[in-house]
């Protein structure tokens, strides 16, 4: 059984009425089917407006498809009752592009990382603190950072905090929606290396959504190229990146200037 399976997902948004009074709409997702296995990183790559983030929101349950099914761990995500969905969500986490809006500025870093732990587990204050300290160390931050606030951190550090929160419950799948695109180039490399290490250490599965083929090539095991709401090309062997043939794939390839260096 696949960890994640999408079956003919379709999503259309209404844009209101045109000047002539006709209802306008746009097909954001046009019949996408795919599977993702445990321990695999699937890169979803495409230009802005290709439907990547909409697909991610549907998988997370933040948007409901007009047609099709999302199966996570064999369960139909959009037909679950609230209690069942909450339990399933502990194994499905997300790291968004905007690391600043993803955290509550009024909470300390320790409280932010502890939030999912408090939602799902009953730990003593001492046990919770030990877990948070361990997560801070895993993502390369200091123990004393626990008592600081988001405004005291850089974007790269905040994204490490968001990653720590995402792995707190040891989920099976993490959606990474443009998770490095707002960061400086060197920080992007550092975060990518962290994600690769976490994937190996915890046998995580990633859905890595990005417009940056260079980053996707660095971290992904497989690639799906999206264009205008459709998957137009697949690649299962990352060593054959140059064999991608679709025009949008070639355009993305042409933007890749050099491979990312590795800093472990």
CATH number of the domain enclosing 198 = 3.40.50.300
Regions of the chain where pLDDT drops below 50: 257-258, 260-264
Domain presence at residue 74: no
How far from 232 is each of 1, 31, 150, 235, CA to CA, in Å? 25, 11, 40, 11
Domain presence at residue 6: no
The answer to whether 8 and 67 have CB atoms below 8 angstroms apart is yes
Structural domain total, the chain: 1
Contacts of 102 (CB under 8 A, 6+ apart): 95, 96, 158, 162
Give the pairing type, strands 41-46 and 92-95.
Answer: unpaired
Domain presence at residue 15: no
Geometric angle at alpha carbon 203, from 84 and 68, rounded to 5°? 45
Domain presence at residue 128: yes
pLDDT at residue 20, as a whole number: 61
pLDDT at residue 19, as a whole number: 62
Question: Tokens for 151?
Answer: 């405004």
pLDDT at residue 71, as a whole number: 96
**Tokens 């004393």 belong to residue:** 144
Range of the domain at 212: 34-65+79-254
**Up-side HSE of residue 174: CA atoms within 13 Å toward CB?**
23
The answer to whether 44 and 213 have CB atoms below 8 angstroms apart is no
pLDDT at residue 264, as a whole number: 38
Give the whole-angstrom CA distance, residue 76 versus residue 183: 35
Identify which of 29, 52, 153, 146 has the alpha carbon closest to the alpha carbon of residue 99. Answer: 153
Domain presence at residue 227: yes
Domain presence at residue 52: yes
Measure CA of the first residue to CA of the last residue in the chain; give whole Å.
Answer: 34
**Up-side HSE of residue 230: CA atoms within 13 Å toward CB?**
7
Domain presence at residue 26: no
pLDDT at residue 254, as a whole number: 84
Domain presence at residue 19: no
Helix, strand and coil in the chain, % to nearest 5: 40, 25, 35
């Amino acid at each position: 059984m696949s960890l994640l399976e999408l079956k003919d997902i379709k999503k259309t948004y209404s844009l209101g009425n045109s000047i002539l009074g006709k209802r306008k709409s746009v097909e954001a997702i046009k019949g996408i089917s795919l599977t993702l296995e445990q321990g695999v990183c699937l890169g979803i790559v495409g230009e802005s407006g290709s439907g990547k983030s909409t697909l991610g929101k549907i998988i997370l349950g933040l948007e409901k498809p007009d047609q099709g099914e999302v199966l996570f761990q064999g369960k139909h995500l959009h037909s679950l009752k609230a209690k069942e969905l909450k339990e399933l969500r502990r194994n499905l986490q997300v790291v968004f592009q905007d690391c600043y809006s993803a955290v509550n500025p009024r909470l300390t870093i320790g409280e932010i990382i502890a939030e999912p732990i408090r939602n799902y587990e009953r730990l003593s204050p001492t046990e919770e603190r030990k877990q948070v300290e361990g997560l801070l160390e895993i993502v390369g931050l200091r123990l004393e950072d626990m008592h600081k606030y988001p405004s005291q951190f850089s974007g790269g550090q905040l994204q490490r905090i968001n990653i720590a929160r995402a792995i707190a419950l040891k989920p099976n799948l993490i959606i990474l929606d443009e998770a490095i695109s707002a960061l400086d180039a060197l920080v992007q490399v550092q975060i990518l290396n962290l994600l690769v290490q976490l994937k190996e250490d915890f046998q995580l599965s990633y859905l890595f959504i990005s417009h940056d083929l260079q980053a996707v090539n660095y971290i992904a095991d497989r690639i799906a190229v999206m264009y205008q709401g459709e998957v137009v090309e697949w690649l299962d062997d990352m060593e054959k990146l140059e064999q991608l043939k679709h025009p949008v794939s070639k355009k993305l390839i042409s933007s890749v200037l050099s491979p990312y260096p590795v800093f472990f």
